């Protein structure tokens, strides 16, 4: 069991190291030697887990899909603002994740990842579809007005969150977490007066609910 746990940790460490090197140098220039050294394992150990760099890139893409699923997979039942608060929290979580997590940045293809051929299109489609679905759930809960078309709100939220990820990847040192969080909060402060139905806005937290921030 201990050997199995070590193997899982090595596998995960290699994925994280690969994402960091892809993010820092680009896909093509990042060598397997550099990745294995960054993970603190031998190149032989890397080849035990991954046949080549393409296989490692596919694993980074899968890990990014799983990490996005953790952001979008929370239930809204415990939130006073229902699906709309869930959406607010998820936009904050993704903006934070794109700043702090190279796997998510590389998976979405934002920042400095020239030559990346991973899951970025699929992830963007998944994120856009989830945002649209959650807005429709919020409308079904009676939390939305008809003032702004849902497709416009979806496009705005997707562009803003992924745009923050692009800025994060291009800046050195990266923009502080507070700056990204403030941008998302400002966006919601602008949107909610037009978006939220009467009597709903007071239950919403544009800066993200306390449980999400924790």
Q: What would the pLDDT profile of 140-194 be if each residue is shown by its tens digit?
A: 999 999 878 889 999 999 998 888 766 655 555 455 555 667 889 999 999 999 9
Angle, alpha carbons 48-59-6 (nearest 5°): 45
97 preceded by a cis bond (ω within 30 of 0): no
Contacts of 32 (CB under 8 A, 6+ apart): 43, 46, 47, 52, 53, 56
* Structure confidence by residue, pLDDT tens digits, 100-146: 999 999 998 875 555 555 555 688 899 999 999 999 999 999 999 98
The DSSP element (H or E) to which 183 belongs, if any, is helix 177-195
Number of structural domains the chain divides into: 2
Domain annotation covers residue 153: yes
Domain assignment of residue 66, yes or no: no
The answer to whether residues 124 and 203 belong to one domain is yes
Query: What is the span of the domain harbouring residue 45?
Result: 2-59
| Same-domain pairing of 37 and 133 | no
105 with 129, same domain: the answer is yes
Q: Taking the CA atoms of the chain, what radius of gyration do you get in angstroms?
A: 19
Q: What are the Cα distances from residue 146, in Å, to 158, 186, 205?
A: 20, 21, 21
Q: What does the DSSP 8-state code read for residue 141?
A: T
Residue 64, domain member (yes or no): no
Distance, CA of 111 to CA of 166 (rounded, Å):
4
In-domain check, residue 123: yes
Q: So what's the pLDDT on residue 90?
A: 96
pLDDT digits (tens, 9 = 90+) for 26-66: 888 999 999 999 999 999 999 999 999 999 999 999 999 99
Q: Is residue 146 part of a domain?
A: yes
| CATH number for the domain that contains residue 53 | 1.10.10.60
């Amino acid at each position: 069991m201990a050997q199995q746990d070590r193997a899982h940790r090595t596998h995960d460490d290699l994925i994280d190291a690969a994402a960091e090197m892809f993010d820092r140098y680009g896909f093509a220039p990042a060598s397997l030697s550099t990745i294995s050294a960054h993970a603190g394992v031998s190149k032989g150990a890397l080849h035990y887990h991954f046949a080549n760099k393409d296989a490692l890139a596919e694993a980074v893409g899968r890990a990014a899909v799983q990490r996005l699923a953790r952001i979008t997979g929370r239930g809204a039942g415990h939130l006073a603002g229902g699906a709309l608060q869930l959406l607010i929290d998820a936009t904050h979580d993704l903006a934070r994740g794109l700043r702090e997590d190279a796997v998510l940045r590389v998976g979405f293809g934002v920042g400095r990842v020239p030559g990346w051929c991973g899951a970025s299109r699929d992830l963007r489609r998944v994120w856009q579809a989830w945002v649209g679905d959650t807005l429709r759930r919020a409308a079904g809960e009676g939390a939305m007005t008809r003032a702004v078309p849902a497709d416009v709100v979806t496009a705005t939220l997707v562009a803003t969150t992924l745009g923050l990820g692009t800025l994060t990847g291009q800046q050195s040192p990266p923009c502080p977490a507070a700056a990204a969080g403030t941008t998302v909060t400002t966006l919601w402060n602008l949107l909610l007066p037009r978006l939220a139905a009467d009597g709903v806005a007071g239950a919403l937290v544009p800066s993200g609910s306390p449980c999400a921030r924790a």
